[in-house]
Each structure stands twice: as C-alpha cells, then as structure tokens.
Amino acid sequence: MPTPDINKILAANKRSAQYGAPLGAMNRDKADSPLYLQRVRFSDGCYAPDNTYWGMPADLWCAFNGEDGQFAPAMGTRIYVRAKSRREAALSILDDHDVTFRRA
C-alpha cells in the first residue's frame, strides 16, 4: 500500500468557502497509532489544500492515521501543529499525545 499524502487527502476533501475561508481546523485526536507525519503545503500563501486559512508562517504539520476513514472529512485522526522541522513537530505532538509515528 502506498504512503498516503496529507496534501492529496486535504485537496480531495475541500472545506466550503461559500462565506469565506474557514480558519484553521480542529484536531481529531483519537490517538490512533502509528501516525504519519507530513508537512501541509500551502497554496496562495496562507491556505491549506482544503481551502482552510492558516495564515503565516507556512510551517504547518499534520499527524494522521492514513486509514480509509481518513478520506472522510468527519473521520480519522488528524493532529495539526506548527513547527520548523519534522523533528520539532513530532516532539510537540508527543508532548500532548501518546502516539507513535511511522517511518518517514
């Protein structure tokens, strides 16, 4: 099975921007483990691929389970954190959650 890509997942599950871009996103931290940890690539400077506005700097990371439920907007584990590096993101998440990460 190929490694899921958080940016493709977000792009496939766009949030409604009918009344303006949604601001950020809630963590869905069911703490399913192990998790993938990937950088969220911004488009148009401050927007994630799902139309969510995060502002600058573009240093957003997402830990996610990558299971089938991840492709449904209301399901799956997603933990967002701002960090300058993958290591910093992982340490920040581990401070608050009892999870493990898949190899990069």
pLDDT per residue of the chain (104 residues) written in tens, 0 to 9: 678 899 998 888 887 766 555 555 656 666 667 889 999 999 878 889 988 888 888 899 999 887 655 455 545 788 899 999 999 999 999 998 888 898 86
In a domain, 104, yes or no: no
Going from the C-alpha of 95 to that of each of 40, 49, 89, the distances in angstroms are 20, 27, 10
In a domain, 14, yes or no: yes
In a domain, 103, yes or no: no
Q: Count of domains in the chain?
A: 1
Question: The whole model's pTM is what?
Answer: 0.80
Where in the chain does DSSP place strands (E)? 36-39, 60-64, 78-82
Backbone angles phi, psi at 70, to 5 degrees: -65, -25
Give me the domain span that covers residue 90.
Answer: 6-96
In a domain, 102, yes or no: no
**What is the DSSP-derived secondary structure letter of residue 43?**
B
